[in-house]
Structure 1
Amino acid sequence: MSENRRTNDPEGVRRRIVDAAYDAFVTQGYLATGMLELRERASVSGGAMAHHFAVKRDLGLAVIRDRVSEAVRQTWIEPFHTGTNAPAAIDSIFESIIGGLTQNGRVSGCPLNNMAMEISQHDAEMRGAVSAVFGAWHEALSDSFETDVKENRARELNPQSLATLVIASYSGAMAMAKARQDVSPLIECRAELAALLAAKYR
């Protein structure tokens, strides 16, 4: 990479660094990844790296806010804007995730869960950033459940606690799938959540 390209495209350089860091943090872990390795992955100079991210913590925050948050939005929040009820949206999300992992032949885990497990005890600001992503995810689920109750599609459910259950179930199943390198826990979780939700919907 030439210095001229770096100078003329600072946003492109920043994006390349964040993309490389996201991939590394998700696949091998935040704590296990060094800045020198990230420089090499992104093909940037030391000066370019220091200009955009003086320390790894800054890069970790950017990954959470720019990439992890976007991944959760696309995967878990946007599907609830299609007008379908919550059970249909959740089942479709599981189907898509399971299909993608099966096609890839490997399970890297949930990016949000991976980051949360590593950094939550080490840095308050990073913990807050992770918590904000979980909060947006939880809000999307609970709002959808609440709408279904108001429109008489569902009964006898607590939107807040049910949203927590769905997130916890998915996160745990994904952790198991990552440990086993097998999507079976996600398949089983999908089936059990579908049965639970069917009992609460008309």
Structure 2
Amino acid sequence: MAGNKRTNDPRAVRRRIVDAAYDAFVAQGYLATGMLELREKASVSGGAMAHHFPAKRELGLAVIRDRVAEAVRQTWIEPLQTCADAPAAIDLIFENIIGELTLKGSVSGCPLNNMAMEISPHDEEMREALSGVFAGWQEALSAKFQEDVESKRVTGIDPRSLATLVIATYSGAMAIAKASQEVRPLVDCRQELAELFASKYLSVGY
């Protein structure tokens, strides 16, 4: 019938499942979350779930590629691309995250770090996907530090090593903040990184 419109939207259904899985994996962990629970959270049928994600690991990979990688891009890579230099971007990122967590009143941790610690020993393909997100994050930071070297803002640094330090500092601070349910570890690391950059950069953009 020409007047009938198709109400089924496979892309919307898939997106709803991935969104529900991302929220659940961040809140309670990948291993602790069951597919039946996710079906209920996403309000989809068993057939729809099986069509889009026949196995839980396929859903886990989709969460990593579609949501975790996107979270890193929005939180870290976009500010790195728009700020004047790496110290300004990193300080802004910490400020934004501290503000969001303070407003929220709880700390779930870094989604990438959470999944990497939980899943990496159990599934090689998921470990490689998570490693790829870390690599993209490190490359973005390293590239920004390299820009600062080329623009004479800073000398005597190894962009890649410094990028690793920033990621490790942030990831560790988030883990401690999650354990303590306080933002203080992030506040402390923000301050220490700012002092480190001030000692190395000729000038900083914040």
- Shared fold per TM-score greater than 0.5: yes
Question: In the superposition, relative to structure 1, how do residues 6 and 120 fare at CA in structure 2: closer, same or farther (>3 Å)?
Answer: farther
- In structure 2, the residue corresponding to 1:8 is in which secondary structure? coil
Partner of 1:196: 196
5+ unaligned residues in a row in structure 2: which ranges?
Answer: none
Deviations, residues 132-175 of structure 1 (Å, cap 9, x unaligned): 00000000000000110111000111001000000000000000
Shift of 1:80: 1.1
Aligned 1:50-65 pairs, distance under 5 A: 50-65=50-65
Aligned 1:89-104 pairs, distance under 5 A: 89-104=89-104
Partner of 1:24: 24
Aligned length: 198
TM-score normalised per structure 1: 0.96
Aligned Cα root-mean-square deviation (Å)? 1.2
TM-score normalised per structure 2: 0.94
Runs (4+) of structure 1 exceeding 3 A deviation are none
Identity of aligned residues (%): 73
CA distance in 1 between counterparts of 2:59 and 2:67 reads 11
CA distance in 2 between counterparts of 1:198 and 1:156 reads 13
CA distance in 1 between counterparts of 2:68 and 2:7 reads 27
Question: In the superposition, relative to structure 1, how do residues 163 and 74 fare at CA in structure 2: closer, same or farther (>3 Å)?
Answer: same
Question: In the superposition, relative to structure 1, how do residues 183 and 6 fare at CA in structure 2: closer, same or farther (>3 Å)?
Answer: farther
One-letter amino acid matched to 2:13: V
- In structure 2, the residue corresponding to 1:84 is in which secondary structure? coil
Shift of 1:83: 4.2
CA distance in 1 between counterparts of 2:81 and 2:142 reads 13
CA distance in 2 between counterparts of 1:169 and 1:107 reads 16
User: Is the 1:6–1:48 contact (alpha carbons within 8 Å) kept by the matching residues of 2?
Assistant: no
User: Is the 1:26–1:111 contact (alpha carbons within 8 Å) kept by the matching residues of 2?
Assistant: yes
CA distance in 1 between counterparts of 2:76 and 2:166 reads 11
Deviations, residues 8-41 of structure 1 (Å, cap 9, x unaligned): 2000000000000000000100000000000000
Partner of 2:8: 8
CA distance in 1 between counterparts of 2:59 and 2:198 reads 42
